Amino acid sequence: MSRFNPPFEIHVHGDVPLREDVGYSQLQEALKPLWQYAGERSLAAAAASHYDDEPGIRFDSEQHLLQVCWTVPGDEDFRQIIEETCMALNDIAATGAPLEVSFYDTEFDEEEAGEDEEARDDFMMCFVGPTPAAIMQVQRDLLVQDVVHMMERHFDASELGEVVSAIDRLFNQRFDALVSSMQLGRPPRGPGGSSGHGGPRKPRHLH
């Protein structure tokens, strides 16, 4: 990599189920922003993590699964790189899946830092999926999991049905707004019109 003393160590973590027809060459093309960012000429050359105890980037052809536990030195520009990667993975993903991206400040020294100084560590959650509905589904599932886990400290799980229903209503509204926006400008259905594809299918929990 051409960057000199990059200010962050960036860790990407997650598993992405892939379509059964996806091969290594398609995966390599989808992950091209990552391996080029690492300064390599192929996925195989960049697959090893910056740390030996991390598996790196792996393709399980039997399970049709992309497994990522990979650290690379970098800067804030990696945010654009992971966005481009997620867009490419959308085309080969079988279901929705999250990718966790952590930024660790390599320039921060806790012993030498002043009282008002803080590390620039950061965290972002990215989502991939074959359709907007698939992405929204995994977002919903993770939110429900986090909210229920937090509230179970104070309430019994059986008392949280209304909370889950409220989350589903919010995602229903977002999904309906998405469908409406996709319908704008579409020719009318019927004789002489286009039938289109009917828009994205609603996730299973969003009734």
Give yes or no: residues 113 and 89 share one domain.
yes
Give yes or no: residues 118 and 17 share one domain.
yes
Give yes or no: residues 93 and 17 share one domain.
yes
Is residue 3 included in any domain, yes or no? no
Give yes or no: residues 41 and 138 share one domain.
no
State how far the Cα of 145 lies from the Cα of 140, in Å rounded to an integer. Answer: 9
How many Å separate Cα 115 from the centre of its chain? 35
Please check whether residue 86 is in contact with residue 14, taking contact to mean a CB–CB distance below 8 angstroms.
Answer: no
Q: Are strands 97-105 and 122-128 parallel, antiparallel or unpaired?
A: antiparallel
pLDDT on residue 197? 39
Sign for the pseudo-dihedral over CA of 38, 40, 41, 43? negative
State how far the Cα of 88 lies from the Cα of 1, in Å rounded to an integer. Answer: 22
Q: Final residue of a domain: which of 130, 150, 172?
A: 130
pLDDT on residue 183? 61
Does the pLDDT at position 158 exceed 90? no
Is residue 153 included in any domain, yes or no? yes
Give yes or no: residues 61 and 116 share one domain.
yes
> Which helix (H) or strand (E) is 48 found in, with range?
none
DSSP 186: P
Is residue 2 included in any domain, yes or no? no
Is residue 199 included in any domain, yes or no? yes
- Number of structural domains (the chain) is 2
End-to-end CA distance of the chain: 48
Give yes or no: residues 143 and 203 share one domain.
yes
* Residue 173, domain extent: 131-185+194-207
Give yes or no: residues 49 and 24 share one domain.
yes
Give yes or no: residues 107 and 156 share one domain.
no
Better-predicted residue by pLDDT, 88 or 3:
88
Radius of gyration (Cα) for the chain, nearest Å? 21
Give yes or no: residues 156 and 123 share one domain.
no
pLDDT > 70 in the chain, percent: 81
Does the pLDDT at position 113 exceed 90? no
Tell me the pLDDT tens digit for each residue of 163-205.
888 888 888 888 777 777 766 545 444 433 333 334 455 555 5
Residue of 52, 55, 33 lying closest to 43 (CA atoms):
33
Give yes or no: residues 25 and 118 share one domain.
yes
Give me the mean pLDDT over the 46-70 stretch. 97
pLDDT > 90 in the chain, percent: 55
Give yes or no: residues 88 and 154 share one domain.
no
Give yes or no: residues 22 and 123 share one domain.
yes
